[in-house]
Amino acid sequence: MTSKREAQIAKRRAEMPRLYRDCYDKAGSGKSRKAAMRAFCAECCGWQIKEVYLCTDLACSLYPYRPRSRVSQGAPQSVPDGPESKNSLNADIG
């Protein structure tokens, strides 16, 4: 990994809520496409998991693969509002 990429990853990790760092690391390792989608969607929605479920961006290239995020299915009542939740990103999205 280049030092420029390492610096960008370190900066992004420092700016995200701690709750999401494990998922981000797994995604960055290239070993989990599911983790990459979770991390991308969470970051896109400002780390607000409920917003992932409420996503209406039909133009997003990941939208067809995110059936639980479609408005027609609605967000489950148990979805937390933000990173202060005790649930991990892996349990909340996907």
Task: Using a pLDDT cut of 70, give the percent of the chain over it.
Answer: 69
pLDDT score of 92 more than 70: no
- Whether residue 94 contacts residue 34, with contact meaning beta carbons closer than 8 Å, is answered with yes
Torsion angle in degrees (nearest 10) through CA of 62, 64, 69, 72: 150
pLDDT in tens, 16-42: 999 999 999 999 898 898 899 989 999
pLDDT score of 82 more than 80: no
pLDDT score of 8 more than 50: yes
Q: Residue 16, CB half-sphere, CA atoms under 13 Å: how many? A: 24
Sketch the domain layout of the chain as residue ranges: 3-92
Q: What is the pLDDT of residue 77?
A: 52
- Whether residue 91 contacts residue 56, with contact meaning beta carbons closer than 8 Å, is answered with no
Q: Mean pLDDT over residues 83-94, rounded?
A: 50
